[in-house]
Amino acid sequence: MGQVEAIYRRRSVRRYLNEELQVGVLEEIKETCKSVKRLYEDIDMDIYVVEDGIKIQGIRGGIFGGYGKVRAPHYIVITSIKKEGYLENVGFAAESIVLSLTEMGIGTCFIGGSINKQLLGNIVAINKNHEAVITISFGYPRDEEGLEGKFIRPRKRMEIPKFTSGYVTKTWQHILDSVRMAPSAMNNQPWRFFINKNVIDIYSLNKKSIFLKHLQEMNCIAVGIALYHMYIAANILDRKIIINKLLGKERRGHTYITSVIEAIKD
């Protein structure tokens, strides 16, 4: 299974077998975390693999709130320095890890919500300049159908014209189809793409919510996840792209994230 196939197979798993992964598998995951692809290499970020999930579960209410119901044998914690683009960067890197675990037949679930740095600091040595951004639970799925059975269930996703403006070539139809499969908080699919020739300007749609600040942060992470899907699909289809922030891209009702520029072949 390649990562593009993993995009379509992956589902959030909230119930796990009470079974730890073998040491060799955990070591492989740690190596994956060390070599993870990032959106912005200049933004400092740390990734921790917490082997003993009970340590997280024991203080889950203080860290995760409602998401504490997700009980897994293992967790991944991602922290980052707060800098423009850090949330998208975390989403991009996190999805790289999640898809790698999916390829290995391991279930995952993104756990958002406010993370108590002090409580988490008792489990992992967080850099004092970092903020705990997101946690990923992982382990073998508890349901008998596992990842394979869930693959046949259709997912509610917007069609490409709903989140894209401009002419979309046949090749980019395939790339954007993988983008629409990206997970997002409450499945709100916040990404919006505006295409002008070989440049795609990418935004997060501003939505009203009583949890506005938190939702905006989660949306930025979701756009980072969608960008990783785009990056993988473009590589498979031999499309060379550059991801770069441009000036003068403000748009009412939207938060500008970045732009994707496709290199024009001679």
DSSP string of 205-233?
E----TTHHHHHHHHHHHHHHHHHHHHHH
To the question of domain 3-148 being in CATH 3.40.109.10, the answer is yes
DSSP string of 237-264?
TT--EEEE--SS---TTEEEEEEEEEPP
Say what the pTM is: 0.91
- DSSP structural state of residue 180: T
The model's pLDDT over 55-94, given as tens digits with 9 standing for 90+, comes to 887 665 444 444 457 889 999 999 999 999 999 999 999 9
Domain limits, the chain: 3-148, 160-262
**Tens of pLDDT, residue by residue, the chain (266 residues):** 799 999 999 999 989 999 999 999 999 999 999 999 999 999 999 999 999 998 887 665 444 444 457 889 999 999 999 999 999 999 999 999 999 999 999 999 998 765 666 788 888 888 989 988 999 999 999 875 556 555 445 678 999 999 999 999 999 999 999 999 999 988 889 999 999 999 999 999 887 665 667 778 889 999 999 999 999 999 999 999 999 999 999 999 999 999 999 987 65
Candidate CATH numbers 3.40.109.10, 3.30.360.10, 3.40.109.30, 1.10.10.10; the one for domain 160-262: 3.40.109.30
DSSP bridge pairs for 164? 193
Task: Report angle CA 170, 161, 179 to the nearest 5 degrees.
Answer: 70
- 82 conformational bin, left if phi > 0, alpha if psi -120 to 50, beta if neither: beta
And the tokens for 125? 């040595």
Q: How far apart are CA 72 and CA 21, in angstroms?
A: 11
